[in-house]
Structure 1
């Protein structure tokens, strides 16, 4: 029975196989007009017609063909089956099997190979997208993702490798491809954009930016450079599109479709592309529309094809024209030629390619178009998956199991609710800020530092079979050896003189080496003699530190502790008491081998109250890294409301922060340096700390 709208969700007509006879199947309307003919399968194989949202009414079915006599009967089945949509669990299991298959086929170098059309770079890009989109699968494929990214990085040709204003730079600068340059290039660019967003890997941003510039200059418009055969006149039939090579002045809808996906993904991720690029691409798509077939031609308006209908509809939707009048006829064309297993008809013979584009166009159309398509197509994929997780291709996709399985996974991911980057709302990709120090000036950034070391009885505890005090001694000696000679350093201990039961244990803190010019040998000898004994008068020890800096203008306390305050000290008193002292002190704390959450929270609170940082160190390497970090010059990024939004260290890793304007501030005792920073998505703003005429300055790096 038809639904309330007078249409059938699905109409299926099947003609069974007849050995040694090639039969054709034709559907006609009540007036005898041919609606569709299927004669694509070979001798002895069934023919199938599927139509979606088919209007109720009278239809005729014609069986023809046959090049040999036979007494074998054939069976004709016509019906509107109720399609049971694949459940979430069925989709998840099928997707898991597909991704497992792809993981097993990946080489140790990070790429994939297949029997036919072995485009390693493009296939790696498609498969990388499939892994990234598998968020509804519980398995971890990060090793496969990283291997694919690393492989693709090796195929990237930076523009900086070529001389400026040369044809080689115009063609190859930014390229990530080999065999089908712009096909592979766009697929990989899109995959790396997905990786940047999903993995927050901003190191990919410069590569992606370079790759996007190649796509933009290769577009056949008046903006195309002479080195690539431009400019292209507005009246050219190829205007607005792309073809295989950057210097081609021809266009086709398939290559153009991938460029649109990459550019739209870039826009969503916060990259900038020219305002004219996507509208001109849409103009090219419109020029390929065939009014007779209500489909799209390959290079111009002549011809039809299911995959090309999906490309045209999706390309217009993504280019900013979701209500373009050509979209609905293209959707109707795909519904009239709905997916049947293994075949694209009409078309060139790329069924998975058709289903990939068609599924995305239907999802953006939404409503009943997507509901019916999703139920049918996802069920088709779930029911026809091989035991090893792959999908076997037919027609021109035969022998391309990695390609078909990657596309199948990407389609199923839509059924799971995942949206590719180009179909998402705009995502706010952060930018990066990095501060470097002029070479040779590290020793001039002298800091006044006091090391406070916990030598309480608990430091006899062990980590991986070695006592914490032994680890701390070795790490501290390494740190001291690497300190700049001009740094003023002091050492205070607590818990080192009196045992736990001694009444004096809660005031057991001592400035062993006063803060002054660095004496490495003295510090190392003192550290070697330390023996843990007593309690943890942590608060009391910190409160003694202002008097240690009394003749200085301020400085930094670096405290290493393995536990909580054990002498009932009031941690809330630390910040106001330090402020009352008139000495500007920052307390950085390293929690060493701490397992209790209460202790961690207490130490974090102390550091935060003084404007310092808290770092966890689980082992010797962690302790070394944390100590090194606390001794670097810290900088902060402050927003317009005066709030610190991010912090980093001079010479350290770049800091990730949202797009916007900030004040970059750092303290070089006793002064503060400030400069304005404009953070741009996916870009790194680099600043240089240097001395000019005896004064410290911080400016954008050249």
Structure 2
């Protein structure tokens, strides 16, 4: 309970003691003095009962230097009282309030002064091409062949400023213009976040099974909560700022309770849910640490990274059981989590990425431009190709790599089409690959995406702001929250991560 302020004791100010009265000077000669040939008459003794003006006598008989000293001392005392009285602090008044959530009671509305009253200049912002940033602008280029063969080698980066800074208000506006975002795409993001806010559970978590229509097949609390947090964080919301600060804070209270000492977030349930839940939670916690640098998240984030490294399979990827087997789908989520860790300045062994690169070689087709789910599968899929290419971009492939460009053309040839079988999972990964490539690849893809995705969002009713899962390839399994979160990530792509090749210092 806050301490109630009481009256502050007055500060004791040392003052000069009053000058001690000097005794009257002795009266010269009290007896008759006789001189030769002269008669002297003794002065009469003063009556001891007659009042004496001792102060006047002291002043008359005091030497000049003493009078000067006393006057200067009095002046200094008076001046000291004037100075001290101005320095005395005023009594501080504390207003104790109560709030439903931790942290809300510390907000001070008096600090929200209008910008024109702050006395500072309003920061200017250019919508032109962003200048080259410092080396912290995005994750470092990874050459798996340099240093990656040593089990103890680690990739270390300084604190993120960085590949997530596009989410900050000023830069966000510029990136929206530069990469083709619009007021319509941003309005769709806002509506989606409002929908997620309405469907957050009392304990701060989310579920794939409701309380909304078209739920998924499993509760998947960890995966659902992580997906919602990634959507909020993608738009710049954290536990410290943003329109949805409260939802993010409550969501993290719920999700951190799920992590054990080893860094694992998922316990129980179906085996196929485990790796997706862990990968999504790792992405979310590494992002929030990178965005806030809060000590609340550093240990959980590093533990999640260490756990991912620990359970990497001998093939180099991840799958349903820790340390057993690999597939491209699960591996892609873990690579995204480890990249988020690098962005946040966390420690990731370079050998981990070298092993991922080796695994991708086993699922690659056409020299690396196409990808399949597992080495035993015969043909490629669009979703696995997009996911594999994104991993290759993060692992260091150049922007003009012929394998990357061939794969990107395949993605463009199979763009977003609501009349065909929908696959928001594929669209999400393809959106990232082509955004990083920029240029004509991105422009062609984005011209369709920025029109179709907001148009297909539910506009009215209880589910306004969400996307219907009906007709989506995995919609029946993931449900409405799954399709809504992935669709939101797509519309946040303009600023969620800075484009790799434009903002990276090699």
- After TM superposition, is the score higher than 0.5? yes
Partner of 2:265: 176
Which has the larger Rg?
A: 2
Change (3 A) 1:257 1:382: same
Change (3 A) 1:372 1:365: same
Partner of 2:257: 154
Cα displacement (A) at 1:356: 1.1
Asked whether 1:413 is paired with 2:474, we answer: no
Partner of residue 330 from structure 1, selected from 379, 394, 407: 407
Cα displacement (A) at 1:424: 10
Change (3 A) 1:207 1:343: farther
CA distance in 2, matches of 1:421, 1:368: 14
Cα displacement (A) at 1:296: 1.2
Partner of 1:459: none
Report the 3-state secondary structure (helix = DSSP H, G, I; strand = E; otherwise coil) of the residue aligned with 2:496.
coil
Is the contact between residue 293 and residue 303 of structure 1 (CA under 8 Å) also seen in structure 2? no
Unpaired runs of 5+ in structure 2? 1-178, 210-214
Cα displacement (A) at 1:337: 1.4
Cα displacement (A) at 1:272: 1.3
CA distance in 1, matches of 2:181, 2:474: 31
- Equivalent residue runs for 1:18-33 within 5 Å: none
Is the contact between residue 313 and residue 322 of structure 2 (CA under 8 Å) also seen in structure 1? no
Q: TM (normalized to structure 2)? A: 0.56
CA distance in 2, matches of 1:244, 1:133: 27
Asked whether 1:285 is paired with 2:285, we answer: no
Cα displacement (A) at 1:270: 0.8
How many positions carry a matched residue from both structures? 305
Change (3 A) 1:343 1:281: farther
Is the contact between residue 128 and residue 191 of structure 1 (CA under 8 Å) also seen in structure 2? yes
Most deviating of 130-139 and 360-369: 130-139
Partner of 2:299: 206
Partner of residue 427 from structure 2, selected from 355, 377, 394: 355
Cα displacement (A) at 1:418: 3.2
- Equivalent residue runs for 1:251-650 within 5 Å: 251-291=326-366, 295-300=370-375, 302-323=378-399, 324-341=401-418, 343-344=420-421, 351-387=423-459, 388-393=464-469, 394=471, 395-398=473-476, 400-415=479-494, 417-419=495-497
Structure 1 residues 443-473: Cα deviation after superposition (integer angstroms, max 9, x where no partner): xxxxxxxxxxxxxxxxxxxxxxxxxxxxxxx
Aligned-pair Cα RMSD in Å: 2.8
Partner of 1:135: 236
Is the contact between residue 435 and residue 442 of structure 2 (CA under 8 Å) also seen in structure 1? yes
Cα displacement (A) at 1:139: 6.4
Cα displacement (A) at 1:265: 1.1
Is the contact between residue 98 and residue 390 of structure 1 (CA under 8 Å) also seen in structure 2? yes
Report the 3-state secondary structure (helix = DSSP H, G, I; strand = E; otherwise coil) of the residue aligned with 1:326.
helix
Cα displacement (A) at 1:120: 1.6
Partner of 2:216: 116
Cα displacement (A) at 1:304: 2.0
Cα displacement (A) at 1:322: 3.3
Partner of 1:187: 280
Cα displacement (A) at 1:318: 0.7
Unpaired runs of 5+ in structure 1? 1-84, 159-172, 222-238, 428-702
Flag the structure with higher helix content.
Answer: 2
Is the contact between residue 257 and residue 315 of structure 1 (CA under 8 Å) also seen in structure 2? yes
Cα displacement (A) at 1:332: 1.6
Report the 3-state secondary structure (helix = DSSP H, G, I; strand = E; otherwise coil) of the residue aligned with 2:474.
helix
Is the contact between residue 121 and residue 152 of structure 1 (CA under 8 Å) also seen in structure 2? yes
Q: TM (normalized to structure 1)? A: 0.41
Change (3 A) 1:402 1:176: same
Change (3 A) 1:105 1:144: same
